[in-house]
A and B are shown apart, each in its own frame.
With several copies, the nearest count.
Chain A
């Protein structure tokens, strides 16, 4: 079912020309997300990460592929399923894990938890757990960039559920009017919690929403890292060159439950066949197969990246677990900034 959907109406792209370094970085980003999420899942039952986690396993290609085209000065806006966006944009791994452990060394000093990550130094100004809540922020940041005559762009990640919030349409209207450099990235995993898109929308082709405002848009197979890379290149350069907003819909598979660990196929009460064998795709394995076949990387380089990521993730957890907890006496700190 998903495979068919992914083909359905998906735009075709020619294979992008990736250098070896780009390939390695793209792979590293995806693996970093994958390995981090698996580790979170592995340790979650220990009850030490006392914050709800929304895993992006299966959806790694989108965050990584889009952020491959972003500069540090570009801004990303994220949601409850925030880990992948944060990591792909280059947020500090240790600070993220420490945030999941609710430590003072967490990126939000333990005040935000998993759904409220921040990495100011890399253009991540905080994620919102209100579905679609950050969408206008992206347009506002893009407007600021325009006023400041910068060539930075803003990118916001939205779920298929978020596309049902009115503020998404208001935001597209503003973006089109002001012609600001913003890319709306829809991660269409067909679910809002356990509710399938078909019980929420008459028309599941979310990229068409952009047509209301004449914003260019397309649907892309989000399980295919090469297509993600190629489509994002196009959208980002469109926005950066002053042509205004772009909407990308990526069709993806959410492997896990809406929140917390656990195989989604056990719980999704509609269309479980989506998750039965044959349908599940792994973007990272597909990518590795491709790069090995094309000789973009050799297998020892791939192994090297895996090893580095494993080490980084391991270290981040150790850092987090050994970090101090926030002091209750600091409870009232941060209500306001100075």
Chain B
């Protein structure tokens, strides 16, 4: 199938109820469903598997009933293991298939770390590009309701250290569909992280199959005072903060890299050149995470564009507590982003 022939898009259309393709708003989960459905339809080499994929709930509605349309050979439930499941996907990819492996939570990917890090990420390099592994691995980050330490981790920061993987974290329904399709089209292993709180978010989603290229950030809001780089659900939180700050006359620029590997650092650097201030809002632990990397790259490459210390809005370095009084203190959102912005705004420019 000519996956390379797919229409490439990158800017989210404005919703316009009279404008044909742009007249449709879709849930994030429906956008993912559509992307999977279209991928299965488009290329018989694509198949999808995962624990409970054929449940009535169907992985938060993103797979519901697809096995009826494509058969249990192409959409199938799996034994309860992760290491073999991912290794099997790799083997099937070697043999010419394009598997999609679905996991409920990134926490469970740790069982398959060897297959992902020692195998998937290295196969192209070790064999000089001769054996492509077009495998996409999906996992849904969970939050809240006492899910506790083993069922709530946002682990993109771990995988992000590993060369050879591509990592997408969509924040809108539009991006979700386009990045999903790019991920399936890619001939390399792709990790695709969804955040559970995004499933009901809506945006304008064209019906046709379109691909959003990896490594192209989206400026989700323009502004001149502070640059916020945010991923996944933190994009939503950042936009919320930006709205409130605008009321106080502070114009925040919100950049969503959409993929953290590859990372579109140029768009971030251009923004920091303009604003002089950088905040990175991440879903994951502070130490050693994606936020640290963005700060390192920006300070290495554009130190003199920064007028004050960069700042991370990222999780405290702790396992997730179960109790809701602790969860409230643990998770960060619009309020914390707003505070961070006010703090860097207060720092006077010294350049």
Contacts and interface: CB of A to CB of B under 8 A. Distances in A.
Interface of A: 50-52, 75, 77, 99, 102-103, 106, 108-116, 118, 120, 125-126, 128-131, 133, 135-145, 147-148, 154, 161-162, 164-167, 170-171, 173-174, 177, 192-195, 199-201, 267, 269, 325-328, 330-338
Given A51-B148, A111-B321, A129-B150, 20 more contacts: A51-B322, A116-B126, A116-B150, A126-B123, A129-B148, A129-B151, A130-B119, A133-B87, A136-B88, A139-B84, A143-B92, A147-B47, A154-B91, A166-B83, A194-B55, A200-B79, A326-B326, A332-B318, A333-B128, A336-B188
Interface in B330-347: 330
A171 B87 contact: yes
Interface stretch (B7-15, B23-31, B107-115, B168-176): B107-115
B56 interface: yes
Contact of B164 (A174, A325, A336): A336
Contacts, number: 262
B158 to A, nearest CB: 16
Interface string B68-104: 0000011011111101111111111111110100000
A112 B322 contact: yes
10 contacts: A52-B145, A52-B147, A126-B123, A141-B95, A166-B83, A192-B52, A325-B324, A327-B325, A334-B124, A336-B166
Nearest to A196: B77
Contacts of A267: 56
Contacts of A164: 79-81
B288 interface: no
A200 B61 CA distance: 22
A81 to B, nearest CB: 14
B130 interface: yes
Contacts of A334: 124-125, 128-129
Contacts of B129: 333-334, 336-338
A320 to B, nearest CB: 12
B260 to A, nearest CB: 15
Contacts of A330: 326
A147 B73 CA distance: 7
A148 B151 CA distance: 35
Q: Chain B at the A interface: mostly helix, strand, loop or mixed?
A: loop
Nearest to A201: B79
A112 B95 contact: no
Contacts of A193: 51-52, 55
A130 B114 contact: yes
Given A136-B91, A145-B95, A269-B55, A331 B322 contact: no
Contact of A125 (B56, B131, B323): B131
B124 A113 contact: no
A133 B65 CA distance: 31
A144 B326 contact: no
Interface in B130-156: 130-132, 145-151
Interface string B31-54: 000000000000000010001101
Contacts of A138: 91
Interface of B: 47, 51-52, 54-56, 73-74, 76-81, 83-97, 99, 107-108, 111, 114-115, 118-119, 123-132, 145-151, 163-164, 166, 187-188, 316-319, 321-326, 328-330
B84 A166 contact: yes
A332 B316 contact: yes
Contact of B321 (A147, A201, A326): A326
A254 to B, nearest CB: 15
B149 to A, nearest CB: 7
A337 B132 contact: yes
Given A51-B148, A162-B80, A140 B95 contact: yes
A275 B113 CA distance: 38
Contacts of B114: 130, 133, 167
A144 B99 CA distance: 10
B255 to A, nearest CB: 24
Nearest to A113: B322
B128 A111 contact: yes
Given A113-B148, A165-B80, A128 B330 contact: no
A137 B90 CA distance: 6
A76 to B, nearest CB: 11
Contacts of B95: 75, 125, 140-141, 144-145, 148
B103 to A, nearest CB: 12
Given A50-B324, A110-B326, A143-B91, A177 B47 contact: no
B8 to A, nearest CB: 16
B100 to A, nearest CB: 13
Contacts of A167: 83-84, 87, 114
A97 to B, nearest CB: 14
